[in-house]
Structure 1
Amino acid sequence: MVSPVGGSQAPSEVAANQQTGATGAGDFAAQLAELERVSKQAQANSIVMRRITTELSSEKKVADERVS
Structure 2
Amino acid sequence: MQVSYVGLKSPIPFDAPDGKPVSDILVLLVPKQATEEHLQILAEATQMFSDGRFRERLHQCKHAQEVKQLFATWMLAC
Per the normalisation by structure 1, the TM-score is 0.30
Higher CA-based Rg: 1
Per the normalisation by structure 2, the TM-score is 0.27
Larger % of helix: which? 1
Answer 1 or 2: higher relative contact order, Cα 8 Å, separation at least 6.
2
